[in-house]
Amino acid sequence: MSAHTPDWVQDAIFYQIFPDRFAKSERFGQDYPPKPTNLQPWGAPPTTHGFQGGDLLGIIERLDYLTDLGINAIYLNPIFASASNHRYHTYDYYQIDPLLGGNRAFCEFLNAAHQRGIRVILDGVFNHASRGFFQFNHLLECGPESPYVDWFHVHGWPVNAYLENQPPNYAAWWGLHALPKFNTNTPAVREFLWNVGTYWLEQGIDGWRLDVPNEIDDDSFWQEFRRRCKAVNPEAYIVGELWGDARRWLQGDQFDGQMNYMFTRAAYGFFAGERMDQTDTGRTGLGYMSPLDGYGFAAELHRLFNEMYDSAIVRAQMNMLGSHDTPRLMTVACHDRDTVRLMFMCLLTVPGAPNIYYGDEIGLPGRHDPDCRRAFPWHDEESWDRELLAEVQRLVALRHELPALRRGDFEVVYATHQVVVYQRRYGEKTAVVAFNAGVEPATFTVPPDFSFHLPERLTETGEVLAGGHVVQLSGRNGRIWAN
């Protein structure tokens, strides 16, 4: 079937926020009830269970920073009531966590974002809940006589929810006691989760990022989820956390796009290559990322953006260079600014919606979680990579300015061992992007029909040589031309 995806996503530049670590407001204790006192100092090394007190009001207070960066969409990691700092352990899907300011603060945040033209999508954790979730807690109290026994996959009684030296005797995500898996074969569970999806859309959110949706191995569940969500808002964005080939879910009847980690791997492979620090990537869904030469990178870009999916799906992919589940961009790139800069240039010029993980734009480092979830250093602006921030701002502004970069088709027009050039066309508008990932300058000749008459709009070093379509590009650099 032909896919229909939300039109606005093509023009979106997402900013992903881990709420406990982005910004902390002083309004608690004034306009809002005070927070608990046992919080880690802001900027302390993150721990598995520690909270640093970031909240939704703090995000409101930093919206100027986001609009200056050019952000027009926010993806929030989970915000529902939970006893974990990452909030993937949900115990109430209808209440915003009080540490974030509760439902009142979320309403204030959503209104403030929308007033600035910033859309908001939430993280939907529908595969599993938490030990504190009411229906699971009911099992702990009432055992096999609980009316909610069929909400989960229980294999024995009494339910072992806390003895870590023994495996849980119920289905749990990755065998973790704290994350009991829903039984989505139960009609009441299906209705509950579908209703959560529509409720928050009715409150005004603009879509859902779905956590591990492949683990609800049921196309009909997600088909109905889509049908109900789109009935509330036909332009709601539904994007799945799918780390590989997602064609099963991206046929136009389930999700609009995926978190495009396949692009992430390809970008690292070409721009970082042998210079990658992969100490922690094997512990994540990224796995080992193979170095790529220009031919391999060009082939992978062509596969991702021209072969695998319907063109509407391609334009709705959520492309990224890292997330809360991966070591930080600057760390994997071995703190090489040229690598990071070129990866951002690629992210912001390929089809799909770019997603910037908070802090990557200032070079925030971090290894495997929880280290990749450090507090944003508002208290230490001297640590910011200002040159990188300025470069990201320029690239974001260019993407907003040039419709070809947001909505154009995609074609690789040239590749060598160290050079890749691609072209985006939208109507009569064209943008051309060239990269030299090698350390040595490269001189290359482009095809006769190549749109090299275009004026330069953003350039590093390099020049168009006499004689037509012969171009020299210095090592570790990229260029963009556009009309």
Active site residues: 211, 241
Sign for the pseudo-dihedral over CA of 240, 242, 244, 245? negative
Q: Which helix (H) or strand (E) holds 423?
A: strand 419-426
Non-local (6+) Cβ contacts of 375 within 8 A are 21, 22, 42, 43, 44, 46, 52, 54
Instruction: Decide: 48 and 372 in contact? Cβ < 8 Å.
Output: no
Instruction: Decide: 192 and 219 in contact? Cβ < 8 Å.
Output: no
Give the C-alpha separation, 351 to 146, whole Å: 50
* Residue from 156, 127, 322, 129 nearest 240 by CA: 127
Distance of CA 126 to the CA centre of its chain: 18
Tokens 């953006």 sit on residue: 305
Instruction: Decide: 196 and 232 in contact? Cβ < 8 Å.
Output: no
Biggest alpha carbon–alpha carbon distance for the chain: 84
Instruction: Decide: 341 and 267 in contact? Cβ < 8 Å.
Output: no
Give me the amino acid identity at 475: G
Give the C-alpha separation, 208 to 229, whole Å: 9
Non-local (6+) Cβ contacts of 83 within 8 A are 89, 91, 130, 132
